[in-house]
Amino acid sequence: MVTPDLTARVGSLLLKNPVMSASGTFGYGLEFAPFYDISRLGAVIVKGLSLLPTRGNAPQRIVETPAGMLNAIGLQNIGVERFIGEVAPRLEDAGAVFVANIYGRTEEEYEEVARRLSAVPALAAVELNVSCPNVREGGIAFGSTAKGLYGLTRRVRAATAKPLWVKLSPNVTDIGEMARAAEDSGADAVSLVNTLLGMAVDPRTRRPRLGNVTGGLSGPAIKPVALRMVWEACKAVKIPVIGIGGIRSAEDALEFLLVGAAAVQVGTANFRNPNACIEIVEGIRDFLAREGIRGVKEYRGSFLP
């Protein structure tokens, strides 16, 4: 039985395996250290960081759905300076490869957050959040049109020499057009999809179940949509595509790799099973070994439509 090579390349970044935690579902990574060695992951994507600390939306923030979860957290976070001073050194000490997901209310805030993070030598990459549906300013305001996405990405590209990933929204008409806008403006990779816009209401109280009324739907319910969009994005651009959306098993992750994703991020599954990411790493390794496949590189993109 072969011992498969799990390494995966995302642009200039070589990961020890293709499994990363998705932003907003894994805290700052350190919260999961009691469950396993987080340095075993391809990378930890920390929750969205803004220029100043953000309290997020008013409760209720999470609603469970039959096949997933609605959330409207509102990008609550400790702010970039506290992350740099308190969290980044601990992630480095833990041996984790870590990526900062960033968000701003204005283009200038995005630039400033990226600029400050550039001073963290151990930071592997910056992921630009232009797709959060749960905040009224920033995020999706820039990521819902190709023009807005291009303009913001170009400015942040000029602000940092770190590898720049752009996290795309599924709430668009043409995902290929959005991926090309990111590529044309200097992104090193795109990650997709963020959550689908949704809502839930209480028929008795006649009130919304989320304090923000609407929120982002994630989990197994969105996997077929995410998989289709990742496939389309892989055909549209030459830069690496990172697959996200409803991945909860090694088989799910393999589907994304099969259609061309360079790596995957695991999100909602972490709430149900804190060991989900590492079990997926082991599941991919076991699958490749059983099938006699030498590594992720050989398997990736071998889809036969």
Q: State residue 166's pLDDT score.
A: 97
Token pair listed for 216 = 């982002």
pLDDT at 188 over 70: yes
The pLDDT of 254-263, averaged and rounded, is 98
Identify which has the larger pLDDT, 206 or 132. Answer: 206
Q: State residue 75's pLDDT score.
A: 87
Segment 24-69, tens digit of pLDDT: 999 999 999 999 999 999 999 999 999 999 999 999 999 999 999 9
The pLDDT of 158-181, averaged and rounded, is 97
132 is catalytic: yes
Q: Residue 289's pLDDT band (boundaries 50, 70, 90)? A: very high
Q: Residue 137's pLDDT band (boundaries 50, 70, 90)? A: low
Q: State residue 142's pLDDT score.
A: 80
The pLDDT of 100-128, averaged and rounded, is 96
Segment 211-232, tens digit of pLDDT: 999 999 999 999 999 999 999 9
Per the prediction, the chain carries an average pLDDT of 95
- Which listed residue (6, 88, 132, 244) is catalytic? 132
Q: State residue 79's pLDDT score.
A: 97
Q: State residue 2's pLDDT score.
A: 77
pTM of this prediction exceeds 0.85? yes
Percent of the chain whose pLDDT exceeds 70: 97
Q: Residue 124's pLDDT band (boundaries 50, 70, 90)? A: very high
Give the DSSP letter string of the chain. Answer: ----B--EEETTEEESSSEEEPTTSSTTSGGGTTTS-GGGSSEEEEEEE-SS-B--PPSP-EEEETTEEEE-----B--HHHIIIIIHHHHHHTT--EEEEE--SSHHHHHHHHHHHTT-TTEEEEEEE---TT-SSSTHHHHSSHHHHHHHHHHHHHH--S-EEEEPPSSSS-HHHHHHHHHHTT-SEEEE--PEEEE-EETTTTEESSTTSEEEEESGGGHHHHHHHHHHHHHH-SS-EEEESS--SHHHHHHHHHTT-SEEEE-THHHH-TTHHHHHHHHHHHHHHHHT--BHHHHTT----
pLDDT at 138 over 90: no
